[in-house]
Structure 1
Amino acid sequence: MPDEETDADQLASSVGACIVGHRERANLEGATLARAAGMAPAYLWRVEQGRTLPSLRNLARLAKALGVSLSVLLEEADISPVNMDNRPYDRG
């Protein structure tokens, strides 16, 4: 397994940092936010640590629980590492 982070790993880290920032500004514990968003605290921890990239639905649930729009939740996310090349696929 290479040590180099993929663009998805970097994006997940950036999104997680955005969520942590909003949660801390709202003065919420992780478990409290997780309950308000209807998700497991362990899942939210993985998202905040950048270990998993949440679905759009889960991002919307987090934004709603934090009382912000989805665009505000993600406005500081760094999308610069995202690779714009198409993924290869096998037509076979």
Structure 2
Amino acid sequence: MEKDINDDNELERYLGNAIRDLRQKHGLTIADVAERAGISRGMLSKIENSQTATSLDTLSKLAQALGISLSTLFKGYNIPEGGAQHVKNDKGMQVVRRGTKHGHTYQLLAYDQGPTKLFEPFLISMDDASEVFPTFEHPGTEFLYMLQGKIEYRHGQQTYLLEPGDSLTFRGEVPHGPEQLVELPIRFLSITIYPTSAG
């Protein structure tokens, strides 16, 4: 298999920059580090400027001279680029669902998940003592976590009093939804995890 020269250059550049940054961070000169590592100043300068490849033995000596382990020298190399979705407080997408017109607010906290929806996290707020309580049925598993207020929540034939810090996990196919708003305002997280087809 042919070696990609660009990969080598990328690694040399990364190591050169990492060594220079660490040296400068500790207030050390090229002469200081070269002497501690037992290599010439010219060699260290070439390593820092990615003008030469170096052995693991030399890298190990340089790491010791800088007071770090060899693995620490490589820890930032080839890390995948991040792609997290950050939704700021109160910036979740407002979603219309049954009950929205009756004092219930649904904020979707993550979206744009691609063609297959894996999960849906909602922040649900209820600040109106409406008697309209929607009932839901959907595939997957739902997890509720109570943040504020008190609510009596129905799942099938059972009801559960949820207070701050309480959680409830259940199958979404069974009819479920609020039964009674006990103490307002109410805020809770609702996370639905959808089944994925095997294969």
Given the two structures, how large is their TM-score scaled by the length of structure 2?
Answer: 0.36
For 1:19 and 1:58, locate their aligned partners in 2 and report how far apart those are by CA, in whole Å: 12
**Greater helix percent: which structure?**
1
- Which residue is 1:48 aligned to? 48
**Greater strand percent: which structure?**
2
- Which residue is 2:23 aligned to? 23
What residue ranges of structure 1 are gaps of 5+ in the alignment?
Answer: 81-92
Q: Is this contact kept in 2: 1:11–1:79, CA < 8 A?
A: no
Question: Which gives a bigger RCO, structure 1 or 2 (Cα 8 Å, sep 6+)?
Answer: 1
- Aligned-residue RMSD, C-alpha: 1.7
Question: What do residues 42-81 of structure 1 show as CA deviations (whole Å, max 9, x unaligned)?
Answer: 000000001112110001000111111111122123478x
For 2:79 and 2:44, locate their aligned partners in 1 and report how far apart those are by CA, in whole Å: 21
What residue ranges of structure 2 are gaps of 5+ in the alignment?
Answer: 81-199
Q: Is this contact kept in 2: 1:14–1:78, CA < 8 A?
A: no
Given the two structures, how large is their TM-score scaled by the length of structure 1?
Answer: 0.74
Superposed, 1:7-22 pairs within 5 Å as 7-22=7-22
**Structure showing greater Rg:** 2
Superposed, 1:1-92 pairs within 5 Å as 6-78=6-78
For 2:41 and 2:78, locate their aligned partners in 1 and report how far apart those are by CA, in whole Å: 24
